[in-house]
């Protein structure tokens, strides 16, 4: 039975992916900070779990060592852990946020993927052909206010694309996944956007999970979920000034409604 390690596996896309993989006879090792929900999902899919803050390099080193001791060969690593805003925050941190919040955002959303890949790479080499999936965001291809979350996802997209072009080891393929608006506990999109708009552009975690599995099976280096999100990403690359103005006006209208 192939082994998959999924960070942020306690809810949202990570939990949905664990269920999708388990249905396809994968054994999942789930990693997150919330033990209660993590234990519940691991039990549901017949997998294992480890409590770990991926933004803490030493914690990742300890966790990876324990997992690799049990599973020396790993076929799939999914760097899914990430956050936009904390409990009680109305929006993700901006430039004027507390420095600690900005640092936490970069540690988890960017460095978490770096530390996990570094530590799990030996097991991925033992399990090759193997795959790494970095769950980034459309916000990593289109700059979205207030900026800090988008900046972390831009960094993750660049890191992931560079690895896809020059894999970290022979036989280890890297995939970049850029979801758009997804309804998860940390991202209550339908509440934020309203039912009329949400019905058109928001997808469920299960849909993203199926697309991730398909990308791995078909060895696609980068996908957008849904695929039409590739259009604004292309527009940002071709006309960054225009897109910035449009996004800025949209963000200002949303802020005025709060």
Active site residues: 149
- Residues 173 and 216: their CA atoms lie apart, in Å, by 9
3-class SS at 25?
Answer: coil
3-class SS at 27?
Answer: strand
Tokens of 166: 């020059």
Residue 26 sits at the vertex; the CA angle it makes with 110 and 71, to the nearest 5 degrees, is 70
Q: How far apart are the first and last CA of the chain?
A: 49
Write the DSSP symbol of residue 228.
Answer: G
Q: Where are the beta strands (DSSP E) in the chain?
A: 3-7, 27-32, 48-51, 76-79, 130-135, 172-179, 222-225
- Residues 146 and 241: their CA atoms lie apart, in Å, by 17
């Amino acid at each position: 039975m192939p082994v998959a390690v999924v960070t942020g596996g306690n809810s949202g896309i990570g939990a949905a992916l664990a269920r999708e993989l388990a249905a396809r006879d994968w054994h999942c090792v789930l990693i997150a900070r919330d033990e209660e929900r993590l234990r519940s999902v691991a039990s549901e899919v017949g997998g294992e779990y480890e409590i770990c803050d991926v933004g803490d390099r030493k914690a990742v080193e300890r966790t990876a060592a324990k997992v690799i001791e049990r599973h020396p060969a790993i076929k799939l690593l999914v760097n899914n852990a990430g956050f936009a805003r904390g409990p009680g925050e109305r929006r993700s941190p901006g430039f004027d946020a507390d420095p600690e919040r900005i640092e936490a955002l970069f540690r988890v959303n960017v460095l978490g993927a770096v530390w996990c890949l570094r530590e799990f790479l030996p097991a991925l080499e033992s399990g090759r052909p193997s795959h790494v999936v970095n769950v980034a965001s459309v916000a990593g291809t289109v700059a979205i206010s207030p900026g800090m979350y988008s900046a972390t996802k831009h960094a993750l997209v660049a890191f992931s694309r560079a690895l896809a072009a020059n894999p970290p080891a022979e036989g280890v393929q890297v995939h970049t996944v850029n979801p758009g608006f997804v309804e998860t506990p940390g991202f209550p999109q339908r509440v934020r956007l309203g039912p009329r708009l949400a019905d058109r552009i928001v997808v469920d975690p299960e849909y993203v999970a199926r697309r991730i599995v398909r990308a791995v099976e078909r060895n696609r280096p980068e996908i957008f979920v849904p695929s039409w999100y590739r259009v604004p990403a292309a527009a940002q690359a071709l006309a960054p000034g225009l897109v910035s103005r449009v996004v800025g006006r949209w963000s200002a209208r949303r802020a005025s409604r709060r």
